[in-house]
Chains A and B, each alone.
Chain A
Amino acid sequence: MSENVWILGIHMTPFGKHADKDVLDLASEAALAAMKDANVTMKDIQILGYGNLMGGTQGQSLQKNIGQTGIPVFNVSNACATGATALRAGVMAIKAGEADYALAVGVEKLSGAGLLTGNTAGAMPENWTPKGRQGAIMPLDGYIGTTGMAGLFAQIGLAYNDSDPRADFELFARIAEKSHSHSTLNPNAAYQKAMSLEQIMGDPMISYPHTRSMCSANCDGAAAAVLVSETKLRTLPLEQQRRAVKVSASIIATDPWTPGNQELADVNTVTKNASQAAYEQAGIGPEDLDLAELHDCFAAAELVHYDNLGLCAPGNAIDFFNTGATWRTGKMPVNVSGGLMSKGHPIAATGIANVWEVATHLRGEAGPRQIEGAKVGLAHVIGLGSTAGVHILEKSGL
């Protein structure tokens, strides 16, 4: 049987604007704080998983800044699932028996970067010449579909459950209202202001039905985790064992062929596959979860993932949300951090930051936003392309 894996230390920097820090400052801050939390140093770390999608730095850049020990580095790139993939690299190394300690780091500096994608149009050529696998004579963004993520996820949301007409602008705006309300309790969130439904629906439209406050916020931030094998953990002081959080499932899945998924990304099947595999690996069902942090890169995405993660009965996400279940006071609190829409979405950091949020509740250290008595939680991310990452975490029984 392969080794169980635990989180021994974990840290998330505040998300937002860090004008005085560069990418390596943020990555170092998260990595050093996670190691301090775990009571280890770079000398103990045997493998590093590192993600910095937009900034161009490598794990080796981080090592040169905080400790060059010659360990293997896995520089990973999986769009918005990059952080979860870095974590997964560490989990695999420990499960394989190749390491007792792993460090995973995700970092991004995106303040002022505009939208996630679709900010720059390709140049119109002087002569029409077919290029590429579809013989395109010009950049296609805006002429055949959109590369803007707000528009992609709008289509995904409006297609929910055979294009249920109740999945509409106001419903999605009410989901964003919940996120912005939750963020008021999170001092690490980039935006911590509650917003009324009127404010959200009256915000500038980015891609109908997503207004600006229904879109994830580009910002700066980093998150890092120190993973440890269960064998090693049992040699550590009891207090460390008590604060350690079990990684009961660690899954990365890609989108399998489904008809039409090369025309519009099928984030549903990949998330369903990843969550089913995670529940099976953990021996835990969605009914056992005390909280979930899911990838609400846009308001419409949150709706479909209630269903994809099995948080509600199949096809029932709209009624499920309407009962108030996913508010922090409901029976299945979702994105009590404020989610990507208000906490912010520094792309490669997100997949570890979601895990930090869940782990912090399981440790009972979430302060005013603590979900009381939380024992089990789930963290989910989607990277377009597509990749789903699902981690299920459990509080130590000690």
Chain B
Amino acid sequence: MSIPIVDYLVLEPKPHLVAQECTACKAKVFGRHNACPACFNESFAEYEVPTTGILKTFTIVQFAAKGIPVPYTTGIVNCGGMDVAANITGVEAIPENITRGMEVQLATFPLGKDAGGVEAIGFGFEPV
């Protein structure tokens, strides 16, 4: 048994992110919204976010709350025009490894099991 870290990560048939796309103006957001923040229209359709993108910007977090593993890289990945906030994985979190404009792809990985043995699945983007 496994469960995605957020409901906009869909694991089957292949892992991908699903955004909410406004049916009127095509604005895209993650998570449940009551109306479109751009045009106030109240209906959304599901939008499958491309699984590859370009890293626009990033930071390498060295200091975080106790319990959060550091360092880690996080940033904004532009996937076919939609910005996605995600960690950059699969590469050591040092500035030499991370370049603005680099190509990255969606990756998933286990984050641990809960008391019932269900595996949490996280996502990030790793260099292509």
Of A126, A152, A210, A263, most buried by chain B (CB within 10 Å of CB) is A263
Nearest Cβ on chain B to A118's Cβ, whole angstroms = 6
Report yes or no: A207 in contact with B5, Cβ–Cβ below 8 A: no
Chain A contacts of B127 at CB under 8 A?
A: none
Q: Is B107 an interface residue (CB 8 A)?
A: no
Report yes or no: A144 in contact with B5, Cβ–Cβ below 8 A: yes
Complex-state Cα separation, A364 to B28, whole angstroms: 51
Nearest Cβ on chain A to B12's Cβ, whole angstroms = 16
Report yes or no: B63 in contact with A137, Cβ–Cβ below 8 A: no
Chain B contacts of A163 at CB under 8 A?
A: 56-57, 100-101
Q: Is A127 an interface residue (CB 8 A)?
A: yes
Report yes or no: B7 in contact with A127, Cβ–Cβ below 8 A: no
Nearest Cβ on chain B to A160's Cβ, whole angstroms = 9
> How many residues from A make CB contacts under 8 Å with B?
50
Nearest Cβ on chain A to B78's Cβ, whole angstroms = 8
Report yes or no: A260 in contact with B86, Cβ–Cβ below 8 A: no
Of A143, A165, A206, A257, most buried by chain B (CB within 10 Å of CB) is A143
In the complex, identify which listed stretch (A58-66, A128-136, A270-278, A351-359) lies at the interface while the others stay far away. A128-136
A residues 98-125 in Cβ contact with B at 8 Å: 115, 118-121, 124-125
Q: Is B32 an interface residue (CB 8 A)?
A: yes
Report yes or no: A151 in contact with B59, Cβ–Cβ below 8 A: yes
B residues 25-47 in Cβ contact with A at 8 Å: 27-33, 37-38
The residue of chain B having its C-beta at the shortest distance from the C-beta of A212 within the complex is B63
Q: What 1/0 mask marks residues of chain B from 111 to 128 whose CB sits below 8 Å from any chain A CB? A: 100111010101100000
> How many residues from B make CB contacts under 8 Å with A?
53
Q: Is A96 an interface residue (CB 8 A)?
A: no
Complex-state Cα separation, A145 to B60, whole angstroms: 10
Report yes or no: A143 in contact with B115, Cβ–Cβ below 8 A: no
Complex-state Cα separation, A263 to B84, whole angstroms: 6
Complex-state Cα separation, A314 to B35, whole angstroms: 33
Q: Is B6 an interface residue (CB 8 A)?
A: yes
Report yes or no: A263 in contact with B6, Cβ–Cβ below 8 A: no
Complex-state Cα separation, A146 to B115, whole angstroms: 26
Q: Which residues of A contact B (CB under 8 A)?
A: 115, 118-121, 124-128, 130, 132-138, 140-146, 148, 150-152, 154-156, 158-159, 163, 165, 169, 204-210, 257, 259-260, 262-264
Q: Which residues of B contact A (CB under 8 A)?
A: 3-8, 27-33, 37-38, 56-70, 72, 74-76, 78, 81-87, 95, 100-101, 111, 114-116, 118, 120, 122-123
Instruction: Please name 19 pairs of A and B residues whose Cβ atoms are closer than 8 Å in the assembled complex, sorted by A.
Output: A118-B65, A126-B114, A128-B3, A133-B31, A138-B5, A144-B5, A144-B85, A144-B87, A145-B85, A154-B59, A163-B100, A204-B63, A205-B60, A206-B62, A207-B59, A259-B27, A259-B83, A262-B29, A262-B30
